[in-house]
Amino acid sequence: MNIAVFPNMQKKEVHKSTIKAIKHLNRLDIKIVMESGMKKYFEMPDIIFFDGLKQTIKACDIVLVVGGDGSIIHAAKHAALENKPVLGLNMGRVGFVAELEINELDRLADLTTGNYSIEKRMMLDIVVSQKNSKRKFLALNDAVISRGALSRMIELAVSYNGSKMSHYRSDGLIISTPTGSTAYSLSAGGPVIEPQMKAMLLTPICAQSLFSRSVVFSDKAKLKISSEEYDVRDEISLSIDGETAIKLDEDFCITIGVSDTSVKLVKLKDVNFYSLLNDKLSEKRT
C-alpha cells in the first residue's frame, strides 16, 4: 500500500506530528509518497518524492492530510478527481472533516487489515460567468457570495431550475453542502444536515427580511444567482471553500448544482455524527 502524506507546514507542531505518522506507517510496511517540495523538511529514508500534487496523488492508494479542515478540504478535492480516498489527521481547532487526532495514530494499523469504511461526501459544481468568460470550480464546503466591508447591502436574485425563486437584500448568501452545513452556514443560523445526504443548503447572511430563512434543496436542484441592482460602489465577491476568491462584476451569473464528483473519506471509527458534532462544538466553546 502507498500513502501520500500532505502536511500543512504552516501550522505549529505539524512537522513533528507528520514524522510521528510516517514512522507509524513505516512500521506497518506502508510506502510513503510526498511532493518534491517536502523533501527539505523530511529527509527520511524510503520516502518517494514526486513532482506536483497530481502525480503524487496518482501514485498512492490513500491520501493522508496532516492539518486542519481547510488543508483536508483542499487535498480532498484534488484526490476526488483521481478517485482516491482521504484520511485527515487533525491539527486544527475543530476538525469536522478529520478522522484522527494525533493521539490516535495506532488506528493507522487498520488500514493494512481493511478494517475501515469509505464515506462519500457530495460536492458542488460552480460555474461563474462574467465578461464573456466562464470558470468552473468544485466546492466541498460552500460557496459564499458577500459584500465588501464598506459597501451597502447587496441585492441578489435567485432562480431555481430555471424559474425565479426569490430576491435577497442581505450581506450575502451561503450555498453549502451537508459537509459545509457545520461551517459558516451554521454560524449564520443555518441547520445542520447529515454529511452523507445529498442536498444543497442556501443560507442568507444578515438578510433584511423577517422571512429570510435557510432553504434546503434536493440534489436535482440547479440554482442561478445574479445581481439585481448592481451599484458601481458595490464590492461583491465569491469565496469557494474559503480558499478561492473571485471579484464579481455587474453582469455576473453563478450557476450551482450537485457535482457528479464526490469526495471519499476514510472512516476508522464508528462514531455517531451528532455525538461528534456536540463534542466538537463543545470543544470550540472552551
Residue 126: Cβ-neighbour burial (10 angstroms; 0-12, 13-18, 19+): buried
Q: Is the pLDDT of residue 46 over 90?
A: no
- Residue 117's pLDDT is 96
Q: Is the pLDDT of residue 241 over 80?
A: yes
Distance of alpha carbon 105 from the chain centroid? 23
- Residues with catalytic roles: 69
Q: Is the pLDDT of residue 280 over 50?
A: yes
pLDDT, tens digit, 9 for 90 and up, residues 99-116: 999 999 999 999 999 999
The conformation of residue 230, written as its DSSP 8-state character, comes to -
Percentage above 90 pLDDT, the chain = 79
pLDDT interval class at 93 (50, 70, 90): confident
- Residue 189's pLDDT is 93
Bridge partners of 63, per DSSP, are 4, 86
Buried residues in 49-70 as b, exposed as e (16+ CB within 10 A): bbeebeebbebbebbbbbbbbb
3-class DSSP assignment, residue 145: strand
- Residue 285's pLDDT is 41
pLDDT, tens digit, 9 for 90 and up, residues 80-92: 999 999 999 999 7
- Residue 230's pLDDT is 67
The conformation of residue 101, written as its DSSP 8-state character, comes to -
- Residue 279's pLDDT is 79
Q: Which three cell numbers stand for residue 234?
A: 458595490
How far is the C-alpha of 50 from the C-alpha of 112, rounded, in Å?
23
Residue 174 C-beta-side C-alpha neighbours within 13 Å: 28
Lowest-pLDDT choice from 25-39, 73-87, 231-245: 231-245
pLDDT interval class at 178 (50, 70, 90): very high
Terminal Cα-to-Cα distance of the chain (whole angstroms): 39
Q: Which three cell numbers stand for residue 221?
A: 436542484
Q: Is the pLDDT of residue 286 over 60?
A: no
How far is the C-alpha of 235 from the C-alpha of 89, rounded, in Å?
37
Residue 146 C-beta-side C-alpha neighbours within 13 Å: 17
pLDDT, tens digit, 9 for 90 and up, residues 147-161: 877 678 888 999 999
Percentages helix, strand, coil for the chain, rounded to the nearest 5?
A: 25, 40, 35
pLDDT, tens digit, 9 for 90 and up, residues 195-223: 999 999 999 999 987 678 999 999 999 99
Percentage above 70 pLDDT, the chain = 95
Computed over every residue of the chain, the mean pLDDT equals 92
Instruction: Check if the beta carbon of residue 51 is closer than 8 Å to that of residue 67.
Output: no
Mean pLDDT of 184-190: 94
Residue with cell string 487533525: 90
pLDDT, tens digit, 9 for 90 and up, residues 119-128: 999 999 999 9
Q: Is the pLDDT of residue 233 over 70?
A: no
pLDDT interval class at 143 (50, 70, 90): very high
pTM of the model as a whole = 0.91
How far is the C-alpha of 135 from the C-alpha of 140, rounded, in Å?
17
pLDDT interval class at 25 (50, 70, 90): very high
3-class DSSP assignment, residue 259: strand
pLDDT interval class at 33 (50, 70, 90): very high
